[in-house]
Structure 1
């Protein structure tokens, strides 16, 4: 554990599972106090809080279903009331709905529309709520996807679209907040060992064929992605903004 982020407060959305947990722990390992948001499982969220507190930092879990845009303001207000400041926002929460082609007569439009609601509109709502209260010199990090810029197989148009939308939005936010020395970047992982990835695995092409597209033929570890987020949140990344960093084993190079 280091003290690079000691005195800083981070909010990690979707922090009760998968990559969100790894990010929260990586930030805590750098000394940051960490709030996480979660949509449903209070038990999982409180278990994460206990793990973070065991590292010697302050921690908080706030229930906030990102599909409801009205939760954004109260979420940020709760973090501010508990910690008195906000320095780092990690927009990690999202869902993955994949597998149907856009011309499929049975396309479940409502299901895919919810993906846009959560991944894009929900993320934007939280960013808007946080931006005026974020400390000068702060950090905003979006968790995108390599599918946001490279689409090597069919059935992922809407998911890829939501992630590409965030990449464009992040560039605009970087312009808006640059005068306050707030950096804004996107981390674009490839395949990761998460519950979300497992949920859609049966809807995608052969996994071995996908791995064959990667020069480094394996999936990313959660720690590799979380450590990249931690770097972008730290003092050494103060002049990196408006960028998308791919943690995807070299696919499409």
Structure 2
């Protein structure tokens, strides 16, 4: 990444705080203030916030339930109210779950209901209020077709 804009603001949203930590720090290094939108582990989110603020960048943390569609609006509005105009959204809500599906820790149905559908809905909501040419929405998601095919194969062979 290049230093794009010293006063830029990015929402980094997702459930895997280890991944969000890497992405948030990279964006902060490039001059972005961060709004970290997550669903669990307030202690880890606070740790990420401390890392970002040590880089002299602003960081807002917003915890909520991605299955609640009102949370999408609330997280975006809270970000804009507290930090200003939004320059980018990075949506990683469903990214970390593919490994859990592969290992049988989570069913395809649960993945679809708890991760995939909220991820798509979050991006659709953001796209409905922002012009993607001005405010890019970056989706980081596992390959849904490969997951469905693998699940079909596993069900056919059990």
For these two proteins, the number of residue pairs brought into alignment is 148
CA RMSD of aligned residues (A): 3.0
With normalisation by structure 1, the TM-score equals: 0.51
- Of 125, 131, 137, which aligns to 2:121? 125
Q: In structure 1, how many angstroms separate the alpha carbons of the residues matched to 2:16 and 2:28? A: 14
Whether contact under 8 Å (1:37, 1:61) holds in the other structure is yes
With normalisation by structure 2, the TM-score equals: 0.77
Q: In structure 2, how many angstroms separate the alpha carbons of the residues matched to 1:89 and 1:135? A: 10
Runs (4+) of structure 1 moved beyond 3 Å?
A: 133-136, 147-151, 153-157
Q: In structure 2, how many angstroms separate the alpha carbons of the residues matched to 1:113 and 1:47? A: 32
Structure index of larger Rg: 1
Q: In structure 1, how many angstroms separate the alpha carbons of the residues matched to 2:58 and 2:124? A: 25
Q: In structure 2, how many angstroms separate the alpha carbons of the residues matched to 1:39 and 1:156? A: 29
Gaps of 5+ in 1: 102-107, 158-253
Which structure shows the bigger proportion of residues in helix conformation?
2
The Cα of 1:65 is off from its aligned counterpart by 1.9
1:23 aligns with 2:23: yes
Whether contact under 8 Å (1:76, 1:126) holds in the other structure is no
Q: In structure 2, how many angstroms separate the alpha carbons of the residues matched to 1:134 and 1:38? A: 24
The Cα of 1:3 is off from its aligned counterpart by 3.6
Q: Secondary structure at the match of 1:98?
A: helix
**C-alpha spacing 1:62/1:13, structure 2 compared with 1 (3 Å):** same
Report which structure shows greater RCO (CA 8 Å, sep ≥6).
2
